[in-house]
Amino acid sequence: MESLASLCKRRGFIFQSSEIYGGINGFWDYGPLGCELKRNIRDAWWRDMVLNREDVVGLDCSIIMHPRVWEASGHIGGFADPMVDCRVCKKRFRADQLCEEQNQKLIKTDKGFALPEGIRCTCGSKELTEPRAFNLMFKTFVGPVEDESAVAYLRPETAQGIFAQFGNVLAVSRQKVPFGIAQIGKAFRNEINPRNYTFRSREFEQMELEFFVKPGTDPQWHDYWVEQRMKWYQSIGLPAESITKYVYAKDELAHYASACVDVMYAFPFGVQELEGIAARGDFDLSRHQQFSGKSMEYFDPDTQEKFVPHVVEPSAGVDRIALAVLCNAYREEWLPKEGPALEAEPGKQPPEGYEARTVMRFAPRIAPIKVAVFPLLKNKPELVEKSREIFTEARRRWACFWDQTGAIGRRYRRQDEIGTPFGVTVDFQTLADNTVTLRDRDSMKQVRISVADLIPELDRRIGR
């Protein structure tokens, strides 16, 4: 993780927020490459979940909503993590996480929670307070007067905006149940213990689908979405073996939920959640119906029945997926003059005749920069001009990079390190026969290809 975090900073993927002031815990900024990576993850999700389907439409809600939304959703009363403090070192922990790390489970009681026997602070002390509920919502005030009536919250999830607008979307979209509403946007949680780099942040981005179904069909749709979502992670380059399911036992489910499966990724710091897929019944719509007094019923024109739809919710985090993608892509290799690369041994120099390279093996679909274009030499105007032409043509379609400085080998290495899958070099032969070399980042193989075939070939390799 340290090498990865250092590369992310050095090459402009991820910076600490407000770094010049010493940073702020739980907040991160995405640099020029990081914001492209995140955009590609979002776009891939939107394409597959919304644009490539006829039964899902999009929505973009405000971050601050009427505070009643959070009463109805249960977030004001219930959206709390149990927190414990160490009386000796004064550190604060999430009680469930502290127990988990010591292979124990937090005990549920009538009043809240209790710590099992033998739980210690990370400093070794047993002097821990009783777990207390800590609400995770960020509070603010709307308007000039800072009194109770002006209190509002930054949304802790995007889902509730979808439920609150269910009626409007239904009225305008000509959709019939089963259908879904999707949203991507920022969410905020005042996490007790932000950690593991960007994994648990206080400001993050969610991609959520609320898929509304006929009561009774929940299990089939839940299975369907679990399968779809598992496949999707492979489509963005995460290998099947790195992605697992965590199926909730009945006693781990929220009282309204009938099923929940988490999609887990094997991070270097442990197997952790990327996405939760829950069958939430009619809990959310019914609560909003009750709190707002507005009907959330659906009239089924085929059966002439009226019902409050049930919902299946795949809810994923952009930042966590970006982190998984970064972890998966990162490789240190030793390259011989010829033949296959060796995996580098940490902290060691490559053997005689080998050269070290760091490479980010992003799937082309989500690589921040797709194509780098190089003139072989920068002081040959014909080469520069031809390469600029190709660059201009390519960047109308993809994020591209043009680089004329340094030896060509070094330019390739710089692109390998940021995960650019394809390199196009314009050399003297280009001027004679209008062909260029196309280099593949992973195999490092180069082929000669005519300029006329270049864009279609890149299009085929990059895919969508």
Residue 237: CB minimum distance to ligand ATP, A: 17
Tell me: does residue 320 bind ligand ATP (CB under 6 A).
Answer: yes
Taking the least distance from each CB to ligand ATP, the nearer of 99 and 390 is 99
In angstroms, the CA 303 to CA 112 distance is 44
Tell me: does residue 275 bind ligand ATP (CB under 6 A).
Answer: yes
Residue 198: CB minimum distance to ligand ATP, A: 7
Which of 276, 364, 368, 421 lies at the binding interface for ligand ATP (CB under 6 A)?
276
Taking the least distance from each CB to ligand ATP, the nearer of 317 and 421 is 317
In angstroms, the CA 391 to CA 383 distance is 12
Task: Give the interface size with ligand ATP as a residue count (CB under 6 A).
Answer: 16
Do the beta carbons of residue 346 and residue 331 sit within 8 Å?
Answer: no
Question: CB under 6 A: which stretch of 48-56, 227-235, 271-279, 341-349 binds ligand ATP?
Answer: 271-279
Tell me: does residue 411 bind ligand ATP (CB under 6 A).
Answer: no
Residue nearest to ligand ATP (CB): 317
Tell me: does residue 135 bind ligand ATP (CB under 6 A).
Answer: no
Question: CB under 6 A: which stretch of 108-116, 270-278, 378-386, 409-417 binds ligand ATP?
Answer: 270-278
Tell me: does residue 274 bind ligand ATP (CB under 6 A).
Answer: yes
- Residue 413 corresponds to which tokens in the numbers above? 């290495």
Tell me: does residue 73 bind ligand ATP (CB under 6 A).
Answer: no
Residue 458 sits at φ, ψ, to 5 deg, of -65, -40
Which of 319, 333, 403, 416 lies at the binding interface for ligand ATP (CB under 6 A)?
319
Tell me: does residue 284 bind ligand ATP (CB under 6 A).
Answer: no
Taking the least distance from each CB to ligand ATP, the nearer of 318 and 369 is 318
Residue 379: CB minimum distance to ligand ATP, A: 48
Residue 106: CB minimum distance to ligand ATP, A: 13
In angstroms, the CA 277 to CA 236 distance is 18
Residue 31: CB minimum distance to ligand ATP, A: 18
Which of 130, 223, 273, 417 lies at the binding interface for ligand ATP (CB under 6 A)?
273
Tell me: does residue 364 bind ligand ATP (CB under 6 A).
Answer: no
Which of 317, 419, 421, 423 lies at the binding interface for ligand ATP (CB under 6 A)?
317
Which x/- pattern, by CB under 6 A, does the window 173-212 give for ligand ATP?
----------------x-x--------xx--x-x------
Taking the least distance from each CB to ligand ATP, the nearer of 95 and 274 is 274
Binding site for ligand ATP (CB under 6 A): 157, 189, 191, 200-201, 204, 206, 273-276, 315-317, 319-320
